[in-house]
Chains A and B, each alone.
Chain A
Amino acid sequence: MNMDFEAPKRQHPLGVFIIGAQFTWKVIQSSWPILIGATLGELKWYHLLILPAVLVLIGAFALLYYLRFHFYISSDALIVERGIFQRERLQIPFDRIQAVQLFQGPIQQVFGLTGVRVDTAGSSGSELELVAIRKSEATVLQQFLNSKMAATTLGEEEGQRADDAPDQEPEGQPLVALDFRGLLKVGLSQNHFKNAFLGLALFLSLFQGAEEQVSQWLDGVPVVLLSALGLTSVLLFIPGLVVMGSIGVLTSLGSVLLRYWRLNSTLGRDGLKLQMGLLRRNAFEVPFDKIHLTEWKSNWIRRLLGYETLRIRQAQAEGSGGLRVFIPAMEPVHRTAMESALYPDFNEENKAFDVAPVRRLRWLLFAAASIPALLLMTEPSTTHILLSTMWLMGVYWTTGKRYSAYRLRVFADCVIMEKGWFWQNRTVLKMSQLQGVEWKRNALLERRQIGHLVFHTAAGGRSFDYVHSDDASLIRDFALNQLHAAQPAPSRLAAE
């Protein structure tokens, strides 16, 4: 087997089938209206001949595409040449690579091949996929690219050392691994309400003709029977709720099974490794220094199970959501392991600031949440007054809880923003990776010296709202200072 990537080479020959399958899928996606239109007209047997013709054409294109697709590695970039009519040469410098991801779709799993996906943070939002590589080759390529990425970001000296030093812990520290029971737990603690709507939308988009057929059938039903049907439909309301609920739970379970099947993750020396997925199996390798934001989310049920969801965000091209990896079921042990690897400064000794929002926020939250009660009071009656006082009392209690959950903590390098009481959300970012700091407020807030502090990162901006300007300006100065301290000093020439 040829493990040398320096000479231009093609993908694995079986890749023709995968490229063919991708082309077929694209053709179906772009021509389905024509296909449906064709079935409505009168079909003669010879019309069906068009199908094999199209398949042959796709096959020929796939073969050509495969033959003209070359990839290789130069001294500082991964280079891909591709295209049938219009030749294209993509050159991806190692320092622009954000992540190298291995994946196995259903076809790749059958053939025992692996795809490689290289993500960059370019403003073009371009990413690159090699669809068919032998597994052993793919891991070598991934490791090679990862070592190059680390070398370019650490600087020459350290990069050299990282290459020479024997790997102390080749496997790394095991992190979350999900078995079937874990998957069930994650699935059941999803947001079923949201998933019910998602599932319903998916279901309806699969059976677009169904609605029409139902209405046609209803037209045929005698009038007397129809009124009886109308009555039963009221009785069907409760079963309807049950159906909706089960759709939600099923969608949650299904999506979790597809996405997180046999999830396995390890914390390496300088990056996070994880594999997951059923139909399309992904293997991510995320270097720590390419992580720009981590978000920890949990709801009440999740916390009962001792789980949190971790969202890792990498640099984004403008407007795109950015690269992100979700890990569900992070237990407290995993969280400390992850945080001590990513944010070594995160301990009480290094704490520089611990700030809560101004008390006004509590009243704003309360005022916003009491609008339903005020709407009820527009038509005063005993029940309405009773209901709205109960609502106000409940809301007063929850807003107190919500208010006390807001917290901004600043350490030597990391910033931790906590929000939420039922749905908790904790965002962590590093000041040395900040792209900018913003102090936002409106004229009314400024009079009371209140504003919002926004941290701009390569993975998007995150704001901590309703802080007193004294706190905010100190934190802003501190953040900028830490950011500058982490960067090389500007050259003297420039200072001139």
Chain B
Amino acid sequence: MDISTASNPPLDLTQLPRLEEVEYLPISKKYRGMRLAFWALVQLVVLAAGLTPFLMHKLGGYEDMAEFSAWYWPVSVQMIFALLWFLEEWKGFPRRGYAVRERDITYRTGWLFRSTTTVPFGMIQHSELSQGPVSRKLGLNHLKLFTAGGSGNLRIAGLEDADAQALRTVIEARTRR
């Protein structure tokens, strides 16, 4: 390998641009409603499925199905999961946010399982805006950024139309390709 001598002054590690200090921009409040509605819908379906045997027993169809003690276990486990999921949505929503710096974009998400991912603009191969039927009604967009190899892909969900377009222009202008 051809190694030429490059100037390499020592770096002052305390003077590096700090990612900790950036301000995160929140995503649309409407997206919280959408996620909570989805949560409620799923819980309703699961609840209906969980209650069916009890109802059938009450209505007198299955007298021989007297033993229900084992059934409480899956029901209570499901309730714990439902609570955790709700907490994740409720407490995690204010934590969702993105920060744009001159050369990279950072996305922060999650309450129970937290993640902060930074992707440099120069490494973004292409971006994609997507909308489902519900998010189209609400005017929400999901922006997906693709990097080589796919492990660094970023999905920023629940952006208002104007924010999404602005973000996309910034990114398109700064990606190399």
Question: A residues near B, CB below 8 A?
Answer: 121, 123, 269-270, 288, 292, 315-319, 322, 341-342, 344, 352, 412, 434-443, 446, 451, 456-461, 473-474, 476-478, 480-481, 483-484, 487-488, 490-491, 493-495
Contact = CB atoms under 8 A, between A and B. Distances in A.
30 contacts: A121-B148, A123-B150, A315-B149, A316-B149, A318-B153, A352-B13, A435-B147, A435-B149, A435-B152, A436-B147, A436-B152, A437-B118, A438-B115, A438-B116, A438-B118, A439-B115, A440-B114, A441-B115, A442-B112, A456-B152, A457-B152, A474-B16, A477-B16, A480-B19, A488-B176, A490-B103, A490-B121, A490-B122, A490-B173, A491-B173
Contacts of A438: 115-118, 152
> What class of interface size applies to chain B in its complex with A?
35 or more
Nearest to B173: A494
Nearest to B1: A341
A457 B1 contact: no
Interface secondary structure of A, over-half rule: mixed
B115 A440 contact: yes
Contacts of A440: 113-116
B11 interface: yes
A487 B153 CA distance: 20
B120 A480 contact: yes
Contacts of A322: 149
Given A435-B149, A460-B149, A477-B19, 11 more contacts: A270-B2, A318-B149, A436-B120, A438-B116, A438-B117, A440-B115, A456-B119, A473-B18, A480-B118, A481-B11, A490-B121
A459 B148 CA distance: 8
Given A316-B150, A442-B114, A461-B151, A436 B173 contact: no
B8 interface: yes
A439 B118 CA distance: 9
A319 B19 CA distance: 30
Contacts of B173: 490-491, 493-494
Given A412-B8, A456-B147, A458-B148, A434 B19 contact: no
Given A456-B149, A458-B149, A483-B120, A495 B102 contact: yes
Top 5 A-B residue pairs of the complex, sorted by shortest distance between their CB atoms: A436-B152, A456-B152, A318-B150, A458-B149, A461-B151
Contacts of A319: 150
A270 B148 contact: no
A457 B151 contact: yes
Contacts of B35: none
B34 interface: no
A389 B120 CA distance: 51
A456 B150 CA distance: 9
B102 to A, nearest CB: 7
B154 interface: yes
A50 to B, nearest CB: 46
Nearest to B3: A344
A440 B103 CA distance: 22
Given A446-B114, A476-B19, A476-B118, A436 B154 contact: yes
Contacts of A439: 115-117
Contacts of A443: 111-114
Contact of A494 (B1, B148, B174): B174
A437 B117 contact: yes
A191 to B, nearest CB: 26
A118 to B, nearest CB: 18
